Structure 1
Amino acid sequence: MRAHQFSRDAVIVGGCGRVGLPLGIALASRGLSVTLYDINAAAVATVNDGVMPFDEEGAAPLLTEVVGAGRLVATTDPASVGTAEHVVVVVGTPVDEHLNPDLGAVPRALERCADHLVAGQLVILRSTVYPGVTALTEKLLASLGAGVDVAFCPERIAEGKALTELFDLPQIVSARTPDVVGRAEKFFRNLTDQIVPLEPEEAELAKLFTNTWRYIKFATANQFWMMANDFGLDFARIRHAITFDYPRAADLPMPGFAAGPCLFKDTMQLAAFNRNNFVLGHSAMLINEGLPLYLVSRLEDSYDLSSMTVGILGMAFKGGSDDPRESLAYKLRKILSLKARETLCTDPHVKDERFVPLDDVLAKADLLVIACPHQEYTALDTQTPVVDMWGLTGQGVRV
């Protein structure tokens, strides 16, 4: 009965972003009809032209295919929310300048289109949310008399790998009743047969624990690197010895800027949830967020920065990405702007009129710092000193 009420299978609120668009493409590639509702008119127009508004491996040809077939359309019209049985919400959930989570981001997104919700729909929260936001959303929609079911099914993808991981990774689904869990499970079985059911609060914590665990692992590697570095030792050699054919240490990462729109933010959400009693998470924040300052301090020990032009290579938050959100390369630039004679930035993926071509940076810089491990920097043709804490160039990571 539900399926006959609607002209589309799914509508994705916030659908032209880095989470919603890959999901829409994946669902449409499996034969579903999907509408992307987004308030960004430029992104909507780009998607309807069959063009990706950002880089995502394997997405461009699939987007052209599903848009051409009419299975994927984008719109700024909130009325589109009423056309599909499944309403998937993927809006961002930031923390504010005081590191407090924004509990209202998801409810506000739904309030903008609540008048168009239809009884019998399944609203699927896909955003990473503060524990309790699912319950808050349920109360909001009940108070509005929407007559919809609510499920929380967190996204788990890594940028750049979405169209592999959406099909390969298990999907976590959660809701209050077995019937609603079953509805969500049926929907995500369009992507994968691996479904993990949880209670909503369990699922909310599962996503925060996952991102926080990664953030803490990066902080551990960064602290180890600083320890070794302060004693003139090469962490890359030590790490190789630790991880070589030794599975219990295989997940020890290399050092580097732990950045992006998720890990820091979700660690702070978890801290807030636990009444800011999260010494481990706050310590990880101090290590990771303090890394640019540590790096510049080490450079000052070896170089007269005030007389030098420093080139920053890579401004994205991770290698191979065109996403600069929350990239610590910008914090590095800010610090160097106070210390160096001149600071030049370049990136092969991020478009910014303030950046200069790599060749110009190589020609003008007295010192180079790899701030993002793009593969383009693995074989730099330069005699200029290169600071590489990532181990990208294979020359060690001492600074």
Structure 2
Amino acid sequence: MIGTPVDEHLNPDPEAVPNAVISLLDVLKDGQHLVLRSTVYPGVTKLVEKVIANSGRKIDVSFCAERIAEGKAVEELIALPQIISARTPEAVERAKNLFGCLTQNVIVVSPEEAELAKLFTNTWRYIKFAAANQLYTIANDFGVDFERVRHAITHDYPRAADMPGAGFAAGPCLFKDTMQLAAFNNNNFTLGHSSMMINEGLPLYLVSRLEKNYDLSKMTIGILGMAFKAESDDIRSSLSYKLKRILRFKAESVLCADSLVHDDASLVSEDELLKQVDLVVIGAPHRRYASLKISQPVIDIWNIRKQGVLI
């Protein structure tokens, strides 16, 4: 799978997808239907169409934005509306026939509209998580449990029903796509950049709060959950690793565990972690942590253990 990557300077590479298509020209044939699904920088569909046109091949190109959540692909491929787009009526019809096998709920837009729809979707979610995280820090600094406030706001109040709780907003899509949108708008995206600073700054904030209550330099800290989200084994862009780096500088030592993650040899078992650490931080809210027996103090900004989120 090839999307539009963002480099270490937060600049997107709009040539990644067109270059991938160029590398496939030897196997592409007339009459085929090329469907782009991954997030692309606005205008990339047009670049791909140009690559195909310059090759002399007669291939229909569609951009049909994929919007499923990781871990819910089978369910959401059928349950969610499918956004499809193409430049010609023939390509639109082929896309409708293809995705009509999954659902009759198909939304037809232009390629540029579809590209923005995908970016706007992920950016909107990233901003919502940032708003919740900012409100969390405000409440926490005031000595108030944000989760109790959020419950009071959302209980039987539909206009605030979608207010998320606090937590690490990470993974391979939301941050990257927000930065793509910022670059597309000539970096004139204050809301997006502010959201990045709030979400990416949350591990630093947690450690600063811990330092006010504990002498971290004499403690072994355990992080439970290293995936970027609950019930996942995906550690890409996980903020648990950012938290680990900060704590390694501040604490005497840091141990990490995640029974779902199998591609990090530095992880220890949950039993080993709980035997050695002085304090536990929930990095990813896997369901099993809700009832896991932990005798040490637990920092749980997700409220997976239903003990509140005040630090």
TM-score where L is the length of structure 2: 0.99
**TM-aligned CA deviation for residue 139 of structure 1:** 0.6
Q: 1:11-66 CA distances to partner (integer Å, 9 max, x unpaired)?
A: xxx3xxxxxxxxxxxxxxxxxxxxxxxxxxxxxxxxxxxxxxxxxxxxxxxxxxxx
Match of 1:78 in 2: none
Match of 1:131 in 2: 42
Match of 2:235 in 1: 324
Task: Select which of 223, 231, 247 maps to 1:336.
Answer: 247
Residue pairs, 1:207-218, within 5 angstroms: 207-218=118-129
Residue pairs, 1:169-180, within 5 angstroms: 169-180=80-91
Match of 1:93 in 2: 4
Q: Given the alignment of the two structures, is residue 362 of structure 1 paired with residue 259 of structure 2, yes or no? A: no
Other structure's SS at 1:116 match: coil
Task: Select which of 22, 27, 35 maps to 1:111.
Answer: 22
Q: Given the alignment of the two structures, is residue 201 of structure 1 paired with residue 91 of structure 2, yes or no? A: no
**TM-aligned CA deviation for residue 290 of structure 1:** 0.4
Q: Work out the CA distance in 1 between the residues paired with 2:29 and 2:293.
A: 60
Residue pairs, 1:234-245, within 5 angstroms: 234-245=145-156
Match of 1:160 in 2: 71
**TM-aligned CA deviation for residue 374 of structure 1:** 0.4
Q: 1:134-182 CA distances to partner (integer Å, 9 max, x unpaired)?
A: 0011111111112111110011100111000001101000011222111
Q: Work out the CA distance in 2 between the residues paired with 1:185 and 1:95.
A: 31
**TM-aligned CA deviation for residue 348 of structure 1:** 1.4
Q: Work out the CA distance in 1 between the residues paired with 2:282 and 2:260.
A: 14
Match of 1:376 in 2: 288
Q: Work out the CA distance in 2 between the residues paired with 1:108 and 1:317.
A: 29
- Over the residues paired in the alignment, what is the CA RMSD in angstroms? 0.7
**TM-aligned CA deviation for residue 93 of structure 1:** 2.1
Q: Given residue 286 of structure 1, which amino acid in structure 2 is its aligned partner? A: M
Other structure's SS at 2:25 match: helix
Other structure's SS at 2:24 match: helix
* Residue ranges of structure 2 left out of the alignment (5+ in a row): none
Q: Which has the higher contact order (CA 8 A, sep 6+)?
A: 2
Match of 1:41 in 2: none
Task: Select which of 292, 301, 307 maps to 1:389.
Answer: 301
Length, aligned pairs only: 310
**TM-aligned CA deviation for residue 115 of structure 1:** 1.0
Q: 1:357-388 CA distances to partner (integer Å, 9 max, x unpaired)?
A: 00111110001000100011101212200000
Q: Work out the CA distance in 2 between the residues paired with 1:116 and 1:353.
A: 39
Residue pairs, 1:270-281, within 5 angstroms: 270-281=181-192
Match of 1:349 in 2: 260
Residue pairs, 1:15-54, within 5 angstroms: none
Match of 2:51 in 1: 140
Match of 1:102 in 2: 13
Q: Given the alignment of the two structures, is residue 304 of structure 1 paired with residue 206 of structure 2, yes or no? A: no
Q: Given residue 103 of structure 1, which amino acid in structure 2 is its aligned partner? A: P
Q: 1:107-137 CA distances to partner (integer Å, 9 max, x unpaired)?
A: 1221221111111111111110010000011
Q: Work out the CA distance in 1 between the residues paired with 2:231 and 2:251.
A: 27
Q: Work out the CA distance in 2 between the residues paired with 1:198 and 1:122.
A: 18
Q: Work out the CA distance in 1 between the residues paired with 2:219 and 2:74.
A: 43
**TM-aligned CA deviation for residue 307 of structure 1:** 0.2
Q: Work out the CA distance in 2 between the residues paired with 1:381 and 1:328.
A: 24
Q: Given residue 334 of structure 1, which amino acid in structure 2 is its aligned partner? A: R
Q: Work out the CA distance in 1 between the residues paired with 2:56 and 2:6.
A: 30
Q: 1:50-95 CA distances to partner (integer Å, 9 max, x unpaired)?
A: xxxxxxxxxxxxxxxxxxxxxxxxxxxxxxxxxxxxxxxxx23210
TM-score where L is the length of structure 1: 0.77
Q: Given residue 309 of structure 1, which amino acid in structure 2 is its aligned partner? A: T
Q: Work out the CA distance in 2 between the residues paired with 1:231 and 1:270.
A: 34
**TM-aligned CA deviation for residue 102 of structure 1:** 1.2
Q: Work out the CA distance in 1 between the residues paired with 2:35 and 2:94.
A: 10
Q: Work out the CA distance in 2 between the residues paired with 1:178 and 1:372.
A: 45
Other structure's SS at 1:173 match: strand
* Residue ranges of structure 1 left out of the alignment (5+ in a row): 1-13, 15-90
Other structure's SS at 1:114 match: coil
**TM-aligned CA deviation for residue 211 of structure 1:** 0.2
Match of 2:310 in 1: 398
**TM-aligned CA deviation for residue 294 of structure 1:** 0.5
Q: Work out the CA distance in 2 between the residues paired with 1:311 and 1:94.
A: 32
